Amino acid sequence: MATEWRKTSFQGVRYREHPTRKHGIRPDRYYVITYKLDGKTKTEAVGWASQGIKPAECYELLAEVKRNQRTGTGPRTLEEKRKEAEAARSATKQQAISFEYYFRGHYLPEASRRKNPETILTEEHYARIWIFPALNEKPMAEIHPLDVERIKNSILDAGRAPRTALQALAIFRLVWNHAKKRGLLDRESPTRNIDLPKVNNARTRFFSPDQAEQLLKLIEVDDPAAYRITLAALYTGARFGELAGLTWSGLDLSGKRITFLHTKTGRPRSCPIAKRLCVVLSELNRGNPGDHVFVNRDGKPWRECPSVFRKALKKLGLNEGHTDRRDILVFHSLRHTAASFMMAAGIDPKTIQELFGWSTMQMLARYTHVLDETKHKAVQSLERALEQPSSKIIQFSRGKVLGIK
C-alpha cells in the first residue's frame, strides 16, 4: 500500500492513494487531518473516499476540533468526537430497550447463574403472564407509575389475590434495579410511587405432632421418595425449592449438617440434621457432588410438591371445613410447623431466624404461631394470679411489673 502523503487544496488535510483499488476512474484516497494539540502535532484518520469522505468535509472536521480547542467546549479530537457519538447511539439504543427485552436478554441469563431454578421459573412466569402484556413493549426509560398501576390492576381485575400483585411488582422492581445498577436507568423504580395492595399472609394453622406423623406414614407407604423430602421439610424447616435444589455437595452426614446454597434470599445457610432425618438420608446411595439429594420415584429432581402429599392431606381430611387460604395446610405449612414448635420450645428468636434464613425478625413473626397449649398456660397463670387475694404486684414507676408476691 502506498505511503506517500499528498496535500489537498484544504490546509491540514492530506491523503494517500490505494495501490490497486479504484474509486471511480482514479485510485481510492485515504484522508487524514493534521493539527496541533497541546503543542504537539497530531494526525487522525478520517476515512476513504470510497466511504463517502470528501476533502471539504475533512476540513470542516478539522475546523471544528480547532474551534473546540480555542473555546474549551466540545470534543478536541476526532477520537473524542467519535466516542461522544457512540455514547449517544448507545443511549438512544438503551432508551428503546423494552422491559421484556431486558428481562430475557440481560436479567434472566445473569440471575439464572445465582438463583434457585424454581425461583427463576416463578419470576419468568409472573413476567410473562402479567408484566409483559401490561407494558406492551414500552421502552423501560418511558415506564412511569401509571404503567405499573396497569400491571397491578390487571392482576386484581382478573380476580387474583393481592399477594399475586405484590409478587409481580416485586419482580418488576428486581429487574428495574438490576438495570439501574448496570447504568441503563438513572431513576428509582416507579413501584415506589404507587399504593401497594395490603396482604395478610400470616398462617393461622400448622400441623400438630400427631397430624404430621399420620401424614408421614401415609406418604411413606405410597411413595418413599416423597416421604424423604417431606420429612426433610418438617425437620429442617427448609423451603421446597431449597430441598429440591440440594445437591450432595451440601450434605455432610458425618458432621450431621446440611448447607443450602440456593436460597430465597440468595445467601447460603446451614443447619444441623436431626437424628431421624440423618438415618433416612444415610440409607441413600451417595451421588456425585452435583447430583440432587432428593429425587422423585423416577430418579429426577423434584419440580413441584409431591402429589402424594396432597392426596394424604385429603385422605386425612385436614383441610375440610377451611376456606380461608391462610387456614389451608400446604407443603409450606411444614416450615411453619417447624418454626412454631421451636418457638414454643423456648428457642430464642435470633437462632430460629438464622436457621430458617429470614432476613428480618418481622418475617419470623409472620411464620410462627403460639401453640394452643401454651396459650392456655398463659391464661391459667393470669387466672391464678387474679384469684389470689393476698397477691401483691410490685410495680416500677414506669409501669413495668417486677413480680407477684
User: d(Cα 102, Cα 178) in Å, to the nearest integer?
Assistant: 10
Helices 117-126 and 162-181: crossing angle in degrees, nearest 10, is 100
Residues 361 and 236 in one domain: yes
Amino acid (1-letter code) at residue 320: E
User: d(Cα 45, Cα 385) in Å, to the nearest integer?
Assistant: 95
User: d(Cα 128, Cα 100) in Å, to the nearest integer?
Assistant: 8
CB atoms within 10 A of CB 347: 13
Question: How far apart, in Å, are the Cα atoms of 219 and each of 58, 205, 210, 224, 230?
Answer: 81, 21, 14, 7, 8
**What is the separation of C-alpha 295 from the centre of its chain, rounded to a whole number of angstroms?**
25
Percentage helix, strand, coil for the chain under 3-state DSSP, each rounded to 5: 50, 15, 35
- The pLDDT of residue 400 is 46
Residue 160 lies in a domain: yes
Supply the mean pLDDT for the chain: 87
Buried b (16+ CB within 10 A) or exposed e, 277-307: beebbeeeeeeeeeebbbbbeeeebbeebbe
Residues 25 and 108 in one domain: no
Question: Sorting pLDDT into bands at 50, 70 and 90, what band is 1?
Answer: very low
Question: Sorting pLDDT into bands at 50, 70 and 90, what band is 84?
Answer: confident
Amino acid (1-letter code) at residue 152: K
Among 94, 117, 146, residue at a domain's last position = 94
382 pLDDT exceeds 50?
Answer: yes
Residue 198 lies in a domain: no
Residues 361 and 386 in one domain: no
User: d(Cα 252, Cα 52) in Å, to the nearest integer?
Assistant: 69
CATH code of the domain in which 350 resides: 1.10.443.10
- The pLDDT of residue 376 is 63
153 pLDDT exceeds 90?
Answer: yes
Residue 167 lies in a domain: yes
Residues 236 and 313 in one domain: yes
Average pLDDT over residues 303-309: 93
Residue 201 lies in a domain: no
CB atoms within 10 A of CB 167: 19
For residues 344 and 385, the model is more confident at 344
**pLDDT tens digits for range 99-114:** 999 999 999 999 888 8
Residue 83, domain extent: 6-94
**What is the separation of C-alpha 256 from the centre of its chain, rounded to a whole number of angstroms?**
30
- The pLDDT of residue 405 is 47
Question: Sorting pLDDT into bands at 50, 70 and 90, what band is 401?
Answer: very low
Could you list the beta-strand ranges (E) of 157-256: 251-252
* Contacts (Cβ under 8 Å, ≥6 apart) of 343: 349, 352, 368, 369, 370
Residue 14 is inside which H or E element, if any? strand 13-23
Residues 346 and 391 in one domain: no
Residues 129 and 215 in one domain: no
User: d(Cα 161, Cα 326) in Å, to the nearest integer?
Assistant: 12
User: d(Cα 150, Cα 140) in Å, to the nearest integer?
Assistant: 15
- The pLDDT of residue 33 is 96
Residue 252 lies in a domain: yes
Q: Are 148 and 132 in contact (CB under 8 A)?
A: no
Residues 359 and 381 in one domain: no
200 pLDDT exceeds 90?
Answer: no
- Mapped onto helix, strand or coil, the DSSP state of residue 382 is helix
Residues 290 and 356 in one domain: yes
**Three cell numbers at 402?**
417486677
Pairing of strands 251-252, 257-260: antiparallel
Question: Sorting pLDDT into bands at 50, 70 and 90, what band is 394?
Answer: very low
For residues 50 and 196, the model is more confident at 50
For residues 264 and 310, the model is more confident at 310
Which of 79-83, 124-128, 191-195, 262-266 is predicted with the least confidence, judged by mean pLDDT?
262-266
224 pLDDT exceeds 50?
Answer: yes
Percent of the chain surpassing pLDDT 90: 61
Total domains, the chain? 4
Residues 229 and 89 in one domain: no
Among 42, 75, 94, residue at a domain's last position = 94
DSSP-assigned states of every residue in 29-59 = EEEEEEEEETTEEEEEEEEEGGGT--HHHHH
Residue 131 lies in a domain: yes
Average pLDDT over residues 115-136: 91
Residue 204 lies in a domain: no
**Please, where are the H alpha helices in 237-318?**
240-244, 275-282, 307-316
Residues 357 and 234 in one domain: yes
Residues 355 and 375 in one domain: no
371 pLDDT exceeds 70?
Answer: no
User: d(Cα 28, Cα 152) in Å, to the nearest integer?
Assistant: 61
**pLDDT tens digits for range 20-63:** 999 999 999 999 999 999 999 999 999 999 999 999 999 999 99
Average pLDDT over residues 174-178: 94
**Three cell numbers at 275?**
437424628
Phi then psi dihedrals of residue 185, to 5 deg: -125, 150
Average pLDDT over residues 344-354: 84
**Three cell numbers at 388?**
389470689
- Mapped onto helix, strand or coil, the DSSP state of residue 22 is strand
Residue 202 lies in a domain: no
Residue 94 is inside which H or E element, if any? helix 78-95
288 pLDDT exceeds 80?
Answer: yes
Question: Sorting pLDDT into bands at 50, 70 and 90, what band is 223?
Answer: very high
Residues 302 and 182 in one domain: no
Among 55, 73, 94, residue at a domain's last position = 94
Percent of the chain surpassing pLDDT 70: 86
Highest mean pLDDT among 193-207, 337-351, 368-382, 383-397: 337-351
Amino acid (1-letter code) at residue 332: H
User: d(Cα 122, Cα 132) in Å, to the nearest integer?
Assistant: 14
